[in-house]
Structure formats: C-alpha cells, structure tokens
C-alpha cells in the first residue's frame, strides 16, 4: 500500500499529510509534557504606573544599578523605592499626572505595588551576585531591557535554561568572554558548576 503512495489522489495525499502532522503534533506535545521547559516566558504584566525602561535606561542612559542596587550584593536585584524616583522627579516633569501620583505615594509613605515579572520557585537557588560579579551582562538573561517600554520575561527561567549556560552549550560570545576568557567557542567546556546541590537546597 505504501508502495502505491504515488497513485493516491491529491485528496488522499492531503489527508495523509494531515494525519502525519497531527501525529507529530501529539508526539511533540508529549515531549513538552514530560520535560516542562518554559515557565512564564514572554510574561509582561501591566504595571500600576507605566514606568518605561526604554525612556530611563535607554534614552536617558540611567545605569541599571542606580535603581537595582542589589545585583552585586545579594540574591535579589531589588526594585527601587519611591524615594529613588523622587531623587529626580521632585523636579523632572513634576507637572505630569503620573509623577503627581508617584509623589502621593512618597508623601503618604505607601510603596508602589509593582507587579513581579520574574519568579523562580522557592526550591531553586539563584543569586544575582554570583553572575553579575563574574561580569555577565544583564542582557545575557533579561534581553535588552533598555529597549522595553514594559519589562518582559525573555528567558525561560527553566532548569534546562540554567543548565544550558552552566554547561557552556550555545552561549553567546559575550557570555563566554566574561565567564571563561580565552575558551575555544567551539568547545568551551563547563562555565559554572551543575551538580544538583548548586541550585537546589
């Protein structure tokens, strides 16, 4: 019957192709089900105040660390308090309704409730310090935040995503030159430890 495939009508060939596609899709879905890869990739929630990284970190070139002071010292990068905003906005664009809303938070000592974008499960051990002190750029994991109006989760943040970099598979030249200067890009070897206990409590 397979040998006669050439004699099938166009309709039968299309039907056959559709069945093949369906089977491949189901197999593909099964693989994804067994090895969950992406968590919240692409997640970009609305924020209570439309804070633009493109404007602040892109156009005005304010250093990421000016606001995310934790990146070199701790697990968390931390999101800035309202008083950091007021360093500039006491004066800059003070007439804007958004800035007046920020000032109200400041005067009433009420933090702005930013919606968290990235979140690893509690059993995973991650810290910014180990990566940033090694010289990895924020872009290696967060993409080009300085071009984003609204922050979006770029990396999958899955275990496979962490391991791929730790094992030196498919890493960009900037990651390689920070993590292992002088390594051969074709065979970089391991860039960071990948025993279970490295990342799990």
Tell me which residues in 106-135 interact with ligand HEC (CB under 6 A).
114, 116-121, 124-126, 128, 130-132, 134
Q: Among residues 12 and 74, whose Cβ is nearest to ligand HEC?
A: 74
Cα diameter, the chain: 81
* Cα–Cα distance for residue pair 165/54, rounded to 1 Å: 27
**Number of Cβ atoms within 10 Å of the Cβ of 173:** 8
Q: Among residues 5 and 98, whose Cβ is nearest to ligand HEC?
A: 98
Q: Among residues 4 and 195, whose Cβ is nearest to ligand HEC?
A: 195
Question: Which of 31, 66, 94, 100 forms a contact with ligand HEC (CB under 6 A)?
Answer: 66
Q: Cβ 26 to ligand HEC, closest distance in Å?
A: 21
Q: Cβ 187 to ligand HEC, closest distance in Å?
A: 17
Token pair 């002190």 is found at 133
Question: Which of 69, 73, 103, 163 forms a contact with ligand HEC (CB under 6 A)?
Answer: 163
Which region among 13-21, 25-33, 44-52, 103-111 touches ligand HEC (by CB under 6 A)? 44-52
77 near ligand HEC (CB under 6 A):
yes
Angle made by CA atoms 29, 33, 36, in degrees to the nearest 5: 120
Residue 10: alpha-carbon gap to chain centroid: 46
* Cα–Cα distance for residue pair 15/90, rounded to 1 Å: 67
The answer to whether 123 and 200 are in contact (CB under 8 A) is: yes
146 near ligand HEC (CB under 6 A):
yes
């Amino acid at each position: 019957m397979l040998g006669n495939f050439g004699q099938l009508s166009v309709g039968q060939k299309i039907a056959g192709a559709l069945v093949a596609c369906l089977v491949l899709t189901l197999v593909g879905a099964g693989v994804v089900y067994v090895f969950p890869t992406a968590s919240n990739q692409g997640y970009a929630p609305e924020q209570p105040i439309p804070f633009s990284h493109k404007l602040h970190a892109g156009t005005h070139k304010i250093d990421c660390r000016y606001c995310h002071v934790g990146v070199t010292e701790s697990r968390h990068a931390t999101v800035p308090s309202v008083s950091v905003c007021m360093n500039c906005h006491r004066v800059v664009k003070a007439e804007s309704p958004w800035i007046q809303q920020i000032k109200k938070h400041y005067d009433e000592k009420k933090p702005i409730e930013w919606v968290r974008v990235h979140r690893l499960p509690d059993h995973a051990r991650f810290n910014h310090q180990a990566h940033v002190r090694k010289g990895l750029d924020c872009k290696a994991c967060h993409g080009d935040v300085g071009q984003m109006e609204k922050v979006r989760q770029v990396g999958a943040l899955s275990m496979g995503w962490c391991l791929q970099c730790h094992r030196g598979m498919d890493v960009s030249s900037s990651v390689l030159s920070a993590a292992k200067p002088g390594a051969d890009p074709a065979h970089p070897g391991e860039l960071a430890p990948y025993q279970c206990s490295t990342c799990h409590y």
